[in-house]
């Protein structure tokens, strides 16, 4: 039987550490993905992900369930990402490899994906990552939360501490900028999208 | 927000794009898009950008975090809480010392299921010290026998407040001397055992290190060669794919 987040939270608060570990299993991938897309560094994203759960675990008795558990986690992760960026005093730069390591490609390719397709996917990922760098932190975060985590406008507004209309503006401006960046690359991107 | 769309209203366009608007507004925008090429092109372009964003996947990472339960452990009563490191070390030392004392006194030798461990290189000093200890034990037993066989009156006269007789003083002195000798013998035995243990440990460590070095050398030789061959094959394959890909483009 699959327990809801709320049930697992309640059991964790009453001292059942195993329930909290189930929450980790459920949410570690999305939190890691969020941290990676915001920070652009694998190791940092992993650290932030771990720290997010550690903080959540400590603060769990104070979690009253006003928001969804996932929204609460996202908020913790985003705050940590923001702290991380400030502390490191660096812009979020994605890890775009200078050259592709064939051995790495072979291990990454799934059984149904050819190496050629995998190379195309990696190229497109690099292009999108580069384009995302041109956005402000607020625009990037809004797009990441909306595109990859499916949060509502209102949830993003609550998380970013701004009016709902500001979220829509950030999304529109961010998407428009990305569109320009990607269209500048023209036909190559279109082909890569078809292939992926 | 009004439920009818005005041309160029970006907030409404975004809500339409993400399908997060009221049905009335959606109908209004749909109607507008069929007439306005500019807005239709805008929606189409933003939708295409969203599809491209879908290709951005984070690298696969080994996560598998597990939460240690420090916060909840704090609620345990003190007798169930884990000991601090210093207390564990003290307990281990006490147990080790007790074991040495028991071993030195020959308590387990030949009368129990646990066989005494014989050091690899004990040298000539250990048997001599064992003899000392066994001699001392014999002397202690002899003294105890002599004391128990002594007249009862000597013991019964020792009432509280009464000055001890000269016989009692001699016995006490003798017992103290024996205890001192016993302690000295045990100390010597413990020191000798410790030196032996350290020597055995060092010898075993050197043997293990040599064995590990040898095994690792063999392993490195084999895997290094295989890795080189595999890497070359993969490089050739990737170069070929890249060339074909460029020719197709």
ipTM of the complex as predicted: 0.77
Phi/psi zone of residue A88: left (φ > 0), alpha (ψ -120 to 50 degrees), beta?
A: alpha
Crossing angle for the helix pair B10-17 and B37-53, nearest 10 degrees?
50
Give the C-alpha separation, B88 to B183, whole Å. 27
Lookup: tokens for A49:
């992900």
Give the C-alpha separation, A12 to A1, whole Å. 17
Alpha helices in chain A (DSSP H): 5-13, 17-39, 42-59, 69-88, 102-108, 115-133, 137-147, 153-160, 164-185, 187-195
Question: Which of B2, B29, B56, B75 should one mutate to test binding to chain A, selecting the residue with the greatest count of A CBs within 10 A?
Answer: B56
pLDDT tens-digit profile of A86-131? Answer: 887 555 455 444 444 544 544 555 555 567 777 777 788 888 888 8
Chain-chain contact of A17 with B67 (C-beta, under 8 angstroms): yes
Crossing angle for the helix pair B23-33 and B37-53, nearest 10 degrees?
110
Give the C-alpha separation, A58 to B72, whole Å. 10
Chain-chain contact of A20 with B59 (C-beta, under 8 angstroms): no
Per-residue pLDDT, A91: 52
Chain B neighbors of A128, CB-CB under 8 A: 52-53, 55-56
Alpha helices in A60-148 (DSSP H): 69-88, 102-108, 115-133, 137-147
Task: Write down the pTM of the prediction.
Answer: 0.53
Per-residue pLDDT, B49: 92
Q: Which class for A120: exposed (0-12), middle (13-18), buried (19 or more C-beta within 10 A)?
A: buried
Per-residue pLDDT, A28: 92
Per-residue pLDDT, B17: 94
Give the residue from B174, B91, B187, B90 showing the smallest Cα distance to B133. B187
Which positions 22-51 of A are in contact with B (Cβ < 8 Å)? 24, 28-29, 32-33, 36-37, 42, 45-46, 49-50
Give the residue from A57, A63, A58, A76 showing the smallest Cα distance to A159. A76
């Amino acid at each position: 039987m699959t327990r809801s987040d709320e049930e697992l939270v309640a059991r964790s608060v009453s001292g059942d550490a195993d329930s909290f570990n189930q929450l980790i299993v459920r949410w570690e991938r999305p939190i890691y993905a969020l941290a990676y897309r915001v920070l652009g560094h694998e190791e940092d994203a992993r650290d932030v992900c771990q720290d997010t759960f550690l903080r959540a675990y400590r603060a769990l008795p104070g979690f009253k369930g006003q928001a969804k558990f996932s929204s609460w986690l996202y908020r913790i992760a985003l705050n940590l990402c923001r702290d991380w960026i400030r502390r490191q005093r660096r812009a979020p730069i994605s890890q775009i490899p200078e050259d592709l390591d064939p051995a790495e490609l072979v291990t990454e390719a799934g059984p149904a994906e050819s190496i050629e397709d995998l190379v195309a996917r990696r190229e497109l990922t690099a292009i999108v990552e580069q384009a995302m760098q041109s956005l402000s932190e607020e625009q990037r975060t809004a797009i990441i939360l909306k595109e990859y985590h499916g949060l509502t406008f209102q949830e993003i507004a609550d998380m970013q501490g701004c009016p709902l209309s500001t979220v829509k503006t950030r999304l529109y401006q961010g998407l428009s900028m990305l569109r320009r960046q990607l269209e500048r690359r023209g036909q190559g991107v279109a082909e890569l999208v078809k292939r992926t | 927000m009004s439920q009818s769309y005005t041309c160029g209203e970006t907030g409404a366009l975004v809500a339409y794009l993400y399908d997060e608007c009221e049905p009335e507004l959606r109908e209004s925008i749909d109607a507008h898009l069929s007439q306005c090429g500019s807005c239709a092109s805008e929606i189409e372009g933003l939708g295409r950008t969203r599809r491209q964003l879908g290709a951005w996947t984070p690298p696969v990472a080994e996560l598998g975090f597990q939460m240690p339960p420090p916060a909840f452990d704090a609620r345990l009563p003190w007798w169930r809480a884990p000991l601090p490191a210093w207390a564990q070390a003290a307990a281990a030392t006490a147990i080790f010392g007790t074991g040495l004392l028991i071993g030195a006194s020959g308590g387990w030798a030949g009368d129990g299921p646990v066989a005494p461990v014989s050091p690899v290189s004990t040298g000539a000093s250990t048997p001599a010290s064992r003899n000392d200890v066994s001699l001392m034990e014999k002397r202690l037993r002899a003294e105890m026998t002599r004391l128990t066989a002594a007249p009862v009156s000597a013991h019964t006269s020792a009432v509280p407040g009464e000055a001890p007789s000269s016989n009692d003083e001699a016995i006490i002195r003798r017992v103290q001397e024996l205890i001192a000798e016993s302690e000295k013998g045990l100390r010597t035995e413990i020191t000798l055992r410790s030196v032996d243990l350290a020597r055995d440990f060092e010898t075993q460590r050197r043997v293990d290190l040599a064995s590990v070095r040898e095994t690792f050398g063999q392993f490195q030789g084999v895997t290094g060669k295989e890795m080189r061959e595999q890497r070359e094959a993969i490089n050739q394959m990737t170069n070929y794919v890249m060339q074909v890909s460029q020719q197709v483009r």
